[in-house]
Amino acid sequence: MLLLDGAPLPAVDPMLLRATSFGHFTSMQVRDGKVDGLDLHFERLDRSTREVFGQPLPADRVRADLQTALAESLDLSVRINVFWTDRLRLLTRIGPPIAPGTQPVRLLAVQHERAVPHLKHTGTFDLIYYAHKAEQAGYDDAVFHTASGEISEASIWNICFARGTDIVFPAAPVLPGIRQQVLQRGLDTYATAPVPLTDLSTYDAAYLTNSIDPALPVASIDTTTYEPHAESAELLAQAYATQAAQAI
């Protein structure tokens, strides 16, 4: 189902498809009418709209569209696209909820840096392209590194690393994901530091995080493998558990 400015959209005008190619978005999982880090989603949408279109996006406008979506179900996957035609528009896509992953993932390291990485913009061709290339090579997905060999982020995830209970988020430019920020709120301490490819084997574990997966274990990056690491997995689970989902 699609909502355009809060109203059901029975058909998609081709002009609308062209307009939505320039903009930004946020994605969320709704459970029982609640969202992890909902305030962070509102903040991201407003900040990005001010940067891209020079206008604010009040949280109340976004909340009203989300409340309309809840008429379908209290458990949903939601993507909100912000774009411009003759005015600021919101296109909300609603679908069934997506369950978190259950299997550790194998990642192929690829040199790539997203354009304007701090924005969750609609230019996602490169992310899908490298993810598909990784799958064709026998991996589950791609993880990116800079030209100088520093890990940044995965195709649709942030990534963090663990040495014992010390959690490290890469310092390379990335999109600061909502679930990453939720985890960081729940951790007593964490570090943001360079993570060179040459240091991958010095970590005990790695985890992917996005709106679907709070902390999905990484099985390997290229030839570096990680065994299950209960100490850091429990720490991240506890950090996530301290942050209550927020009602729409």
Nearest to 149 by CA among 106, 123, 202, 111: 111
Fold of 2-95: D-amino Acid Aminotransferase; Chain A, domain 1 (3.30.470)
94: which 2 tokens?
Answer: 């609603």
Residue range 105-243, CATH number: 3.20.10.10
- Angle, nearest 10°, between helix axes 230-241 and 178-186? 100
Q: pTM for the complete prediction?
A: 0.93
In whole angstroms, what is the distance from residue 33 CA to residue 27 CA? 15
The pLDDT assigned to 13 comes to 73
Query: Per-residue pLDDT tens for 14-45?
Result: 667 666 789 999 999 999 999 999 999 999 99
What is the model's pLDDT at position 15?
66
pLDDT value, residue 127: 96
The domains of the chain are located at 2-95, 105-243
Low-confidence ranges of the chain (pLDDT < 70): 12, 14-15, 17-19
CA–CA gap between residue 220 and residue 238 (Å, rounded): 24
pLDDT at 114: 94
